[in-house]
Homo-oligomer: A and B are copies of this chain.
Amino acid sequence: MSELLQKGKAAKQAAKTLGQASTELKNKALQAIADGLSANHTPILAANKQDVERAKAANTSAAILDRLILTEQRIQDMVTGVKQVIELADPLGEIMESYDRPNGIKIDKVRVPLGVIGIIYEARPNVTADAAALCLKTGNCAFLRGSSSALESNKAIVKVVQEALTSVGLPATAVQLLEDTSYETSDQMLQMNQFLDVLIPRGGAGLIEHVVKNATVPVLETGIGNCHVYIDEAAEPTMAVNIALNAKTQRPGVCNAVETLLVHKDWGVESLNKLISALNEQKVKVRACSQTKQTISDLDAADESDWATEYLDLTVALKLVDSVEAAIEHIDQYGSGHSECIVTENEQHARKFLNEVDAAAVYHNVSTRFTDGFEFGFGAEIGISTQKLHARGPMGLKELTSYKYILQGTGQIRS
C-alpha cells in the first residue's frame, strides 16, 4: 500500500479515538507538543538548516527563504501558539439546538469534529505545528501535505508532535505528514474521499486554484483577496487617508491588504492630493485611472488588468467613481469576496454598501486589515474562507467542526 493510502487509512481510524477524546486529554497533548517543541529546538533547527541549504543551492528567492527559515524565536512563537490553543474553549459537544417534536421525539443538534482534515500548504514550517494544534483541539485528525522545500523541517516538527501524542495515550496517527511530495501523489490526495472529510489549501492563488479545480474531497477555499477601500464623497479626509494607508502598507503581502482604492470624484482635489502624498511617502506606487491622471498627471496609468490584480506589495490601483453605486458595481466585477471597506460619514451610503457588497467582511470606517481570526476574537485562525459554503471569513475552532442530530424516543414509527 502506498504511503498516501496507508496514512489516509490510519488517519480515518485515529479520527474515531480523537473525536471521543476529552478536552483534558487533548489539552494534555497540546501541552506535551509545546514542551516537545521547546525541548527539541536543536534537531528542528538542524533539519531546517538542511532545507535552507537545499533552497539556497536551488537559488530560491529571498522572500521564500525568509518564510522557510526557522530560528529559536520562531520555534518559541510556535510554542506560544500551541499554548494559546490550550486556553481556548473546546467547541465539541455543544448542544447547538434542542427541541421536542409533537410526536415526542427529542432532537439535539450537537457539535462534532469534521473528521480528517487534509491541509495543503506552502513553505512556512510553522503551519505544521499551528494546523496540528487547531485540528487536535477540535477532535480532528490532521493530514498534512507541506512543501517539498520544507520537508525536513516538517518531518522534525511532526516527529515531536507524534511523540507528544503517544506520551499522553493518543494515536500518533492523529497528525501525519505526507512525505511523498510528488505532484502525482498530491493530486491523488485531493481525491481520497474515502479517508478525508475536508481539504484546506493554504498558500498562493496558484495552489488554491489547483486544489479547487482537482479536488473531489470538499474544499474550504481560503485566501485570495482583491480588496477595496471606497472613499465616499462624505469621507472624513484624515480618517480616509489613515485607513487607506493602513490597509495598503501595514502588511502589504497579506490577503486582507487593499489593492484598489475607489475614490468618489467629489471628495475633493485637496484630499486626493493628501492621499497620494501620504502613499508616496510610504513608497507606495499608485496606478491611476485616466480621470485621476487628468487631475494629477504624474501618476502611472492603470489599465484594465490592474483592477483584477492582487499586487501583494507596495502598489495600489486608484480609480475615481461617480457614486457609491459605481463603487459597488466595480467591486461586484473585480472583488474576490474577501474584505471591502467604505469610508464615509453618510450613514445611508454606508448602509447601502454594507448591505449590497457581497464579501466575507464588509467594513464601515475600519481598515480591511482586521479580517483575521485573532482580531475577530476567535483566538485562533486556520485561514480566511472566501467561499460561501460552510464558513465565510476568518475560520477559528468552530469552523473546524460539523454537527450531528441525535434523536431519542420511545418507539416512534412513521405513518
Contacts and interface: CB of A to CB of B under 8 A. Distances in A.
Interface in A323-344: 332
B366 A412 contact: yes
A405 B393 contact: yes
Interface stretch (A64-72, A242-250, A261-269, A307-315): A242-250
Given A99-B377, A105-B370, A212-B216, A246 B406 contact: no
A112 to B, nearest CB: 8
Contact of A243 (B216, B219, B402, B413): B413
Contact of A250 (B19, B402, B413): B413
Interface stretch (A25-33, A156-164, A350-358): A350-358
Interface of A is mostly: mixed
Nearest to A245: B413
A16 interface: yes
Contact of A388 (B114, B356, B371, B405): B114
A387 interface: yes
A246 B411 CA distance: 11
Interface string A168-203: 000000000000000000000001010001100000
Contacts of A16: 332, 356, 358
A409 B364 contact: yes
A35 to B, nearest CB: 30
B198 A407 contact: no
A407 B366 contact: yes
Interface string A378-415: 00000000011110110000000011111111111111
Interface in A80-138: 99, 101, 105, 107, 112, 114-115
A20 interface: yes
Interface in A208-259: 212-213, 216, 218-221, 236, 239, 242-243, 245-247, 250
A190 to B, nearest CB: 11
Nearest to A105: B366
B411 A242 contact: yes
Nearest to A109: B393
A279 interface: no
Contact of A358 (B115, B332, B389, B409): B115
B360 A405 contact: yes
A362 B216 CA distance: 26
Given A389-B114, A404-B392, A413 B242 contact: yes
Contact of A193 (B99, B101, B212): B212
Given A213-B216, A218-B218, A389-B389, A365 B410 contact: yes
A101 B370 CA distance: 11
Nearest to A247: B413
Given A358-B115, A388-B198, A389-B402, A375 B411 contact: no
Contacts of A191: 213
B105 A414 contact: no
A367 interface: yes
A87 B357 CA distance: 29
Nearest to A99: B377
B216 A367 contact: no
A366 B408 contact: yes
B414 A402 contact: no
A361 B404 contact: yes
A144 interface: no
21 contacts: A20-B355, A20-B356, A212-B216, A213-B216, A218-B221, A236-B411, A242-B413, A250-B415, A361-B404, A361-B407, A365-B410, A365-B411, A366-B412, A367-B412, A370-B407, A370-B412, A370-B414, A375-B414, A389-B390, A389-B402, A392-B405
A349 interface: no
Contacts of A387: 197, 218
A101 B360 CA distance: 18
